[in-house]
Structure 1
Amino acid sequence: MTDRRLERVDDGEWAFVASLLLAGLGVAVASPILVVGATIPLWYGVSAGFGAPPDARISSRRILTRRSDDAADEPQAREDGADAGFVSADPGDTVAVRTTVRNTGAETIVDLRVVDDVPDALSVVSGTPRLCETLEPGDEAVLEYELAVHRGEHAFGGLTVRARNVTGTVAETWSDGVGGDDEIRCHPTAETVPLGEGTNDYAGEVPTDEGGSGVEFYSVREYEPGDPVGSIDWRRYAGTRELATVEYRAERATRIVCVVDVRSSQFRAATTERPPAAELSAEAARRTADTLLDEGHPTGVVGIADRRITTVPPDGDTTTRRRIRDLLEAARRAEFTGEEGTRTAYGDPVDEVPRTLPGEAQVYLFSSFVDDEPVELLERLRTHGYAVRVVSPDVTAGPDALETRLEALDRRTRLARARATGARVVDWDLERSFGLVLSDAVGEVGVR
């Protein structure tokens, strides 16, 4: 706790003036009521001039809880006085903050105001880190809010506390330490791609409920002519002289489709030195597709222009990789050519895109979310049951003008709506490199 700073909010001068005026008026008109009434502001002025500061004493404790689409990690209970802890989270998660403030003094704090020191790099998405309460001795008050998380280690500070005395004429301000949790750590990796449950007929890494080639035991059935010798249950044959075949749980790969928004609204940039949103989305989609193809997952691309949708169906061969790169290169210039191996449809993307996707695919959506159409598309995809990951370059950062601030606010609202659908969202600050964005986009995918 730092030194307390006293401030006399009101010195009561006006009260003395008011008292003299009332008393003079009462004498002039011979009114005893006005003379007696003149003592009321007089008493306030005396209290303001000589009032004592509040004797406010508090203790506080902070608990952080990670909230994601999959589950909420329960906070670990800590005894009073234990070392401060931390919570781990992934980009796109939110962390709930619950700070409890307790009056440990012997006097009532009639006007207590508290502000929690939120990490500068994180933004509050719900609730408020501020509190204004009256606390009896031993009573508690709680301030609760949620933070949107991105990569890095984010440390909290203490509490800024301000208390006033009963008359509100003397205020005391100080910084107070907080027990419990004091840090959020966000360090996702992109070394592997954990997958959801959507599968297809390609061999891969996702277990299925059917027998086939794999490593996990599935069932034993009667031997049929033509079964591989290596799958025969020789131990059973040795005991019963009956042939049986061991089946293992089949594994399938996951189809991935990268949906890239290159409508006319996407050809704007945060500054003249930076590329527009369409180019950023196309480059991020290319690197994401290359990473997924290298992992062996059939991957495709859907490019969204103004009322035109061009598709490279998901596959895992080198021809598909070339077609994806060609399509994305054309998308950067808004020049879809409809080359061999692509499919083209016309109409509203919100209606047409779900019709082009395989039913079990997982979707990556790349868009700057500067208008409502990507949100409507995302909501439609989620309604159809698709698992969706969003990568959104922030092209609203720039000059601190009213119009820019309003655009940024609208965009944050749309991303909040996207998170509310259950989609994973990577809000891409353009100060970050492609590599970090790729790590967030690919590394954070979890089981649906």
Structure 2
Amino acid sequence: MSADADDRFDAAAFAAVTLLTTGAVLGNGVLFVAATVPAVYLVAEALSTPPSPSSVAVERSLADAAVAPGQRTTVTLAVTNGGDRPIPDLRVVDRPPEAVSVVEGARRGCVSVRPGETESVTYEVVAGHGEHEFDDPLVRLRSLSAVGRRTAVRPVAGDATLSCRRTADPPSVRSASRRQVGTRPADSPGSGLEFHSLREYRHGDDVSRVDWRRFAKTGDLSTVNFREPHATGTVVVADARRPGRVGRAPDHPTAATLSVDAAERLFVRLADAGNRVGLSALGVSAAAVDAPVDGDRADRPWVPVGSGETTRTRATAVLETAAEAAADRPDSPFPRGTDGVQQRVDPARPAALRERLPGSTAVVLATPMLDDEPVSFVEALSAAGHPTFVVSPDVTGGERLGGRVVATERRLRIERLRAGGTTVVDWDVADPLSVAMEGSA
């Protein structure tokens, strides 16, 4: 804790001494009288003592202590006057970690608090993946005359850690589109709930599938076929390529990080629903994954479609590697060659993935759509008969001309895919992913 006087009262002391000295040397009574003005301030300083910071109790609360990368959460800092004196001027400053960005409101406030009263400061933050520890807040107290002040770092009760993890808030895939990925009804007849057709009774058919009403009318035995649902394979693809390793602000998560986050949550939701799921990642080398995973012809990690623990373990390892790569911001997402021409980096190469996809496997692509590669990737897969579904986090925008141009180009890419029949979830990262998925239903 530290206690000090305001600079203006240091000036008052200097002015009083100067006037008294000058008046004594010159024998000027007017200067002696003028010296009484700063002297009054000095007397007020001596008689006025700010309250002790130990009388202030601070509590921090987070609206959501565990959020997904890029998702906002509200921080409330409540200060309580536990002493018996009012605090006319209490200033408090919260200290979030450097990786946590304040996006709305202010982390500091100035309040007047009576004994037993509580005032609060509220602001919103956003952070990238990881565990983020807040420092204890700083408080400064002034007396009514504002002569003296005391400053201290106060211990805080309540929440001190913001957990930002990719598997928070898993979205609902079922409501995301009428053209679902996962379990789909097949065209072949079998046992199920939806009527498909009638056929002649065969020895050994289940009696519960015999059309007894038809037998009562015509005397013919017939067996009812139902449309049988089959679990189809789904491959989730995370786009962690270099063009997406940019954020809305320097301390915000990159678009590629948000794409990996969306891919992991979709993978978990599909797997938990009993679907057979596979995984791949663009912009990542299979050799960089800390687990034995196959690679496709483009040396990208490939986790075959499955439903066991081995599939989940390998997928988790791939996503961890993709998240590390996605958070690495390059100097320029679109480097230029020696001739000044923009180079084509991290091509999506849909043919390499298409060779790995069995049958009519559905594909879910999580990509920020900041270049033309995802469009070609989706169009090639769709042309090969693979139903494709796209989730795209939006980190574009802003008032600058460049931001508006990038946002327009991204919107045109999305419209092109939608015109071709692809379902695209345009995810405003200010909202949870689950809200965007529900809105696209």
Q: Give, in angstroms, the shift of residue 188 of structure 1.
A: 2.2
Equivalent AA in structure 1 for residue 381 of structure 2? D
Per the TM alignment, residue 169 of structure 1 is displaced from its structure 2 partner at its CA by 2.4
**Partner residue, 1:158:** 136
The DSSP-based 3-state class of the residue aligned with 1:282 is coil
- Are 1:213 and 1:251, in contact at CA under 8 Å, matched by a contact in 2? no
Q: What is the correspondence of 1:12-411 to structure 2 with a 5 Å cutoff?
A: 12-14=12-14, 16-17=16-17, 20=20, 39-49=36-46, 51-56=48-53, 57-66=55-64, 87-188=65-166, 195=173, 197-198=176-177, 200=179, 204-205=181-182, 219-221=193-195, 224-225=198-199, 234-235=207-208, 237=210, 244-247=224-227, 270-271=330-331, 276=335, 282=346, 285=348, 290=353, 296-298=361-363, 313-315=379-381, 361-364=389-392, 371-378=403-410, 386-388=424-426
Work out the CA distance in 2 between the residues paired with 1:97 and 1:188: 20
Return the alpha-carbon distance in structure 1 between the equivalents of residues 202 and 153 of structure 2. 74
Q: Is the 8 A contact 2:201 2:223 kept in 1?
A: no
Aligned-partner Cα distance in 2 for 1:162–1:121: 25
Corresponding residue for 2:293?
none
Q: Aligned partner of 1:372: which letter?
A: R
Secondary structure at 1:167 match in 2 = coil
Q: 2:202 and 2:151 mapped to 1: Cα distance?
A: 80
- Residues in 1 aligned to 2:163 and 2:203: alpha-carbon distance in whole angstroms: 52
The 1:171–1:158 alpha-carbon spacing in structure 2 relative to 1, beyond 3 Å, is: same
Residues 393-437 of structure 1 deviation map (CA, whole Å, 9 limit, x = unaligned): xxxxxxxxxxxxxxxxxxxxxxxxx535x596xxxxxxxxxxxxx
Q: Distance in 1 between matches of 2:80 and 2:116?
A: 6
Does the 8 Å contact 2:74/2:123 carry over to 1? yes
Measured in 2, the distance between the counterparts of 1:221 and 1:122 equals: 55
Q: Determine if contact 2:133/2:162 at 8 Å carries over to the other structure.
A: yes
Contact map agreement 1:106 1:137 (CA 8 A) in 2: yes
Report the alpha carbon displacement of residue 198 of structure 1 after superposing the two structures with TM. Answer: 2.8
- Say what the alpha-carbon RMSD is for the aligned residues: 5.7
- Residue 51 of structure 2 aligns to which amino acid in structure 1? P
- SS of residue in 1 equivalent to 2:73: strand
Separation of aligned partners in 1, 2:94 and 2:224: 67
Higher mean C-alpha displacement, 148-157 vs 379-388: 379-388
| Amino acid in structure 2 at the alignment position of 1:205 | G
TM-score, scaled relative to structure 1: 0.52
Aligned residues: 319
Q: Which amino acid aligns with 1:297?
A: A
Q: TM-score scaled by structure 2?
A: 0.53
Distance 2:95 2:381 in 1: 49
Read off the aligned partner of 1:276 and give its amino acid letter: P
Find the counterpart in structure 1 of residue 274 from structure 2: none
Q: Is there any run of 5+ residues in structure 2 with no aligned partner, and where?
A: 216-221, 244-328, 337-341
**What whole-Å deviation, never above 9, does each CA across 1:35-94 have from its counterpart, x for those lacking one?**
5x865533211122454242342212222124xxxxxxxxxxxxxxxxxxxx22212212
Match of 1:343 in 2: none
Displacement of 1:378 in angstroms is: 4.4
Q: Give unpaired runs (5+ residues) of structure 1.
A: 67-86, 263-268, 322-357, 390-417, 425-442
The equivalent residue for 1:419 is 429
Question: How far apart are residue 160 of structure 1 and its match?
Answer: 0.9
Amino acid at match of 1:64: L
CA distance in 2, matches of 1:42, 1:173: 25
- Displacement of 1:375: 1.6
